[in-house]
């Protein structure tokens, strides 16, 4: 178990040129965290270049940052106090780099928010305050910097403190302290300032040391998002290794575990490490591979938890706060890609409850969220997802939204929403309501064709013989005088979506098209046959729902990866085509017996 010194991630935020990098440089210098002679070397370099020395130059900044004189990305620095080790994330202050700032701040447990005493509170000062509250960072101190430029005037400090406290109160964020500092001169950074005897509070280093540390991740409930499943066949190795990173908690061989959202249970047989011996446990922060007692099928994206501990929420809907940074607004009804831990699913914004301008704190009701605004929204995923509330476990409670192949927003989950209604059902209702029916009824078509319509979906893994069975079935039914059509492009379309830049959204779009096409052809009274690879229970449900109210038959070939109730017929892999076709025809005949309305 980890026996190293306690560590804390601290983000420093603030408006551009309010002195963030200077404060970081001063902290490094005053705590003796720099290599010997570093300060003198940088000072000499400044003399050679005839420019004044800045503590910000001490940071190992990016080359572009040095060239442009601004911080364009989060830069990490390290220093130690007597109590603990600190990792400082110096976040960019320009609004153009807000996404980088949020990305860096999302890893922080504490925040120092810097305000220039001379310039006062700026737009980004408010926006960054809201982001800290949005990310759930509770350890916050406000540093009123450059007090030397206002002659260390207590009135200036008190006025900024009063104004900013009022603002923070409005967004429900309570900082631990306000500290008047002059970072360049080291006033109240690591030692008390002689220039501000009126201030009797702690300096920055003392405030940081007073921040309470959250319980170590390894003591929290176990969460391991499944990244991949590896199966080795060399030398008779039959292990199926479930790989991922333990985000919280600890798991040991013998523990009973559950995978969500599927709900499948198993027991850990062993904990494996790449090129290392088998161990007895894996804990938070470690990447590991686990083998299970019994063979079973799961997909990457599931979240492994312990059966004996608090379970995650599993729902298709949840309420969340979203900070939007996309070029195009976040709009109600549009499909985006949602990423929570290793889960990736299409998601639609089903409701925008209200929108907040984070700089001006103006709340409004509208159907979109503009760039740099915060929206409280209800999201509906196209299949159930497993998550925790952000305040409980950050790794499975925070998410990002992808739009046009780019990360366009980040959010925290506030609560699950259990609502039986769905956008898919609403789509079906609207479609049926708006469908202009012909004078020829389905019964008229059935009597004329000699059968009612059906969508026969043959599924299974690649090269299991699905297409061969589908074509032979079409020929058999056609020879029987039935009106049948084999759609031979569904697998190709699925493969094309896998080659597209966004596989998740591409596959969802393909399934939607297939479901609507099936509904159109079965509504025309035909028997439609197709085969498709690599779909799960919920994707199967999507196709059935889109084909509703017409009948769908599901034939599975090979290993059954679905719930038994979803399958009408199981066939072995590469089964003789004649036998397979006979079984399917028998299934259809039995359906006629069981359902007098159905004739074939």
Beta-bridged to residue 116, according to DSSP, are: 145
Q: Which residue has the tokens 């509906």?
A: 380
User: Three-state SS string across 19-85, please?
Assistant: CHHHHHHHHHHHCCCCCCCHHHHHHHHHHHCCCCCCHHHHCCCCHHHHHHCCCCCCEEEEEECCCCE
**SS3 of residue 169 by DSSP:** helix
Q: Identify the pLDDT of residue 50.
A: 73
Q: What is the dihedral of CA 121, 124, 128, 134, to 10 degrees?
A: 120
Band of pLDDT at residue 88, cut at 50, 70 and 90: confident
In angstroms, the first-to-last Cα distance of the chain is 66
Q: Hey, what are 460's tokens?
A: 């299974």
Q: What is the 8-class DSSP label of residue 182?
A: B
Averaged pLDDT score across all residues of the chain: 85
Cβ neighbors of 500 (< 8 A, separation 6 or more) are 506
* pLDDT tens string 283-312: 998 888 999 999 888 889 999 999 999 999
CB atoms within 10 A of CB 434: 7
Q: Identify the pLDDT of residue 186.
A: 92
Q: Identify the pLDDT of residue 319.
A: 93
Residue 101 has pLDDT above 90, yes or no: no
Residue 498 has pLDDT above 60, yes or no: no
Share of the chain above pLDDT 70, in %: 88
Q: Hey, what are 536's tokens?
A: 């799960």
* pLDDT tens string 513-525: 999 999 999 999 9
DSSP string, 213-252: PPPPGGGS--BEEEEEEEE--GGG---EEEEEE--BSEEE
* pLDDT tens string 440-467: 988 888 888 888 899 999 998 888 889 8
**SS3 of residue 389 by DSSP:** coil
* pLDDT tens string 540-595: 989 999 998 889 999 999 888 887 667 899 999 888 999 999 999 988 877 654 45
Compute the half-sphere exposure of residue 589: CA atoms within 13 Å on the CB side of its CA.
8
Q: Identify the pLDDT of residue 1.
A: 46
* pLDDT tens string 409-437: 888 898 999 877 788 888 888 888 888 88
Q: Hey, what are 76's tokens?
A: 């990490």
């Amino acid at each position: 178990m980890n026996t190293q010194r306690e560590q804390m991630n601290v983000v420093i935020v603030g408006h551009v040129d309010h002195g963030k990098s200077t404060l970081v440089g001063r902290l490094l210098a005053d705590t003796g965290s720099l290599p010997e002679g570093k300060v003198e070397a940088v000072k000499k370099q400044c003399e050679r270049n005839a420019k004044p020395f800045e503590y910000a130059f001490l940071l190992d900044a990016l080359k572009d940052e040095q060239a442009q004189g601004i911080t364009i990305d989060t830069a990490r620095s390290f220093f130690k106090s007597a109590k603990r080790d600190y990792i400082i994330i110096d976040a960019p202050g320009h609004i153009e780099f807000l996404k980088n700032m949020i990305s860096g701040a999302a890893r922080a447990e504490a925040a120092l928010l810097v305000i220039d005493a001379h310039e006062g509170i700026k737009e980004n000062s408010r926006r960054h305050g809201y982001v800290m509250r949005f990310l759930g960072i509770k350890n916050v101190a406000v540093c009123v910097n450059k007090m030397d430029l206002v002659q260390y005037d207590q009135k200036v400090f008190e006025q900024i403190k009063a104004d900013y406290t009022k603002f923070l109160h409005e967004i429900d964020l309570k900082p631990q302290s306000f500290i008047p500092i002059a970072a360049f001169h080291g006033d109240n950074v690591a030692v008390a300032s002689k220039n501000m005897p009126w201030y009797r509070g702690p300096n920055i280093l003392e405030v940081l040391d007073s921040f309470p540390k959250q319980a170590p991740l390894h003591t929290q409930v176990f969460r391991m998002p499944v990244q991949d499943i590896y199966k080795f066949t060399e030398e008779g190795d039959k292990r199926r290794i479930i790989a991922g990173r333990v985000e919280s908690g600890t798991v040991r061989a013998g523990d009973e575990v559950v995978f969500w959202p599927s709900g499948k249970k198993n027991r850990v047989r062993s904990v494996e490490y790449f090129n290392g011996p088998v161990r007895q446990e894996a804990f938070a922060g470690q990447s590991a591979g686990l083998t299970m007692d019994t063979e079973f099928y799961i997909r990457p994206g599931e979240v492994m938890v312990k059966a004996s501990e608090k379970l995650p929420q599993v729902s298709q809907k949840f309420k969340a706060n979203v900070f939007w940074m996309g070029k195009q607004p976040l709009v109600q009804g549009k499909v985006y890609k949602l990423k929570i831990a290793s889960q990736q699913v299409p998601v639609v914004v089903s409701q925008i409850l209200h929108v907040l301008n984070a700089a001006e704190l103006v709340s409004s009701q509208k159907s979109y969220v503009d760039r740099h605004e915060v929206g409280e929204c209800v999201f509906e995923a196209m299949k159930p997802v497993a998550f925790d509330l952000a305040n409980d476990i950050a790794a499975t409670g925070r998410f990002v939204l992808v739009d046009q192949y780019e990360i366009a927003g980040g959010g925290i989950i506030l609560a699950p929403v259990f609502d039986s209604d769905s956008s898919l059902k609403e789509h079906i209702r609207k479609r049926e309501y708006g469908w202009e029916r012909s004078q020829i009824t389905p019964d008229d078509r059935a009597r004329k064709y000699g059968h009612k319509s059906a969508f026969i979906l043959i599924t299974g893994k690649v090269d299991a013989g699905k297409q061969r069975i589908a074509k032979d079935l079409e020929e058999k039914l056609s020879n029987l005088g039935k009106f049948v059509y084999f759609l031979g492009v569904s697998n190709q379309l699925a493969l094309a979506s896998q080659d597209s830049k966004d596989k998740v959204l591409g596959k969802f779009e393909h399934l939607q098209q297939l479901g609507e096409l099936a509904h159109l052809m079965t509504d025309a009274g035909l028997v439609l046959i197709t085969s498709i690879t690599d779909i799960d229970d919920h994707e199967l449900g999507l196709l059935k729902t889109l084909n509703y109210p017409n009948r769908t038959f599901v034939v599975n070939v090979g290993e059954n990866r679905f719930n038994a109730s979803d399958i009408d017929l199981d066939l072995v892999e590469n089964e003789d085509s004649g036998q397979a076709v006979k079984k399917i025809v028998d299934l259809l005949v039995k359906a006629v017996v069981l359902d007098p309305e159905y004739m074939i």
